[in-house]
Amino acid sequence: MTKESISNLIKGTIFLFVTAVGIVGNIIVFVNFVCSFWRGAQKKSIHLILIHLAFANTIILFSKGLLRAITAFGLRNFLDDTGCKIVVYLERVARDFSICTSALLTVVQAITISPRSSLCWRFKPKTPWKILPLFLFFWILNSLKIINLLHYITNNRKNMSEAAKTNNYCSFQPESQEIKWILLILMAIHSVMFQGVMGGASGYMLFLLHKHHQRVLYLQSSHLHKSLPEMRAAQSVLLLMFCFLFFYWTDYIFSFFSNSFLQNNSMILNVQEFLTIGYAFLSPFVLIHREGNLDSCKPWRRPRH
């Protein structure tokens, strides 16, 4: 075996392992919160949001991670143009929906821990069903936005040398650089807008958690401290958002350098490919680790008496 084939074998194995474990983790989160939502006496908007987030993450891992593993094992031309369009479309829609859902998760959790006398409290969803139209809006928005890309997505059979270098199963080939930059700018505006909302809500939560921490220190000195589930849940959501921002912006930085200065650098490309599925892989395990803090139920958990 050559050095390149050994490297591709290792890469394919890692991607297959990460994808499989990530899919299992997201399925566990999905099933657990579906159970919690339907069996719980008090249905929570956070649970409904996490169900959609786990669903979007699963699509990302199937459409991105699994196919990356297949191409690393040497099967690069198994998709025709139609297959490429479908796979890339699903991956991009799910990824953008994940951004929207993560922003909504942060906003709803910030409203949940807001003081009842604050203006934010008035916007708290009275029932989880109130936010269902937002999910429909997010799916439609992202589906329509990505449609413009379909015309420029093709398989790599016409450029075998490029496919061999990058291990890409599909390619983005706009008619001109102007069209390419217009589409990239539109996608960037979408991401920056929702991440701005996410950042503002996260900053507000940090402010509220700081005030809560000061109050806890006072109550601990008086032996009256009782931890609030909403505050613990806010900490979990903040941890999720920091994970998202880390993977997103690290991926962006690597993508910038790989396209500008380090073209066809295999090490940079491999790291960047992992970063694109890093959040989808890691987020369910953050939730599983802090599941008690999110106050979610398990179908096999007996009620306490």
- Kindly report, residue by residue over 252-267, the tens digit of the pLDDT: 887 777 666 666 666 7
Q: What is the CATH number of the domain that holds 111?
A: 1.20.1070.10
Q: What pLDDT, in 10s, does the model give residues 114-171?
A: 877 777 777 777 777 888 889 999 989 888 888 877 777 877 655 544 444 445 667 7
State both tokens at 32. Answer: 């657990």
Residue 60 has a pLDDT of 93
Rounded mean pLDDT of 77-97? Answer: 84
Q: Residue 49 belongs to what domain range?
A: 3-156+174-291
Separation of alpha carbons 48 and 56, rounded Å:
13
Number of domains in the chain: 1
Domain-embedded: residue 259: yes
**Distance between the two ends of the chain, CA-based, in angstroms?**
62
Domain-embedded: residue 302: no
Rounded mean pLDDT of 58-67? Answer: 90
State both tokens at 289. Answer: 């680790």
Domain-embedded: residue 118: yes
Tell whether pTM > 0.85: no
Domain-embedded: residue 31: yes
Residue 158 has a pLDDT of 57
Domain-embedded: residue 122: yes
Residue 168 has a pLDDT of 64
Q: Higher-confidence residue: 270 or 221? A: 270
Domain-embedded: residue 164: no
Domain-embedded: residue 27: yes
Domain-embedded: residue 166: no
Residue 298 has a pLDDT of 44
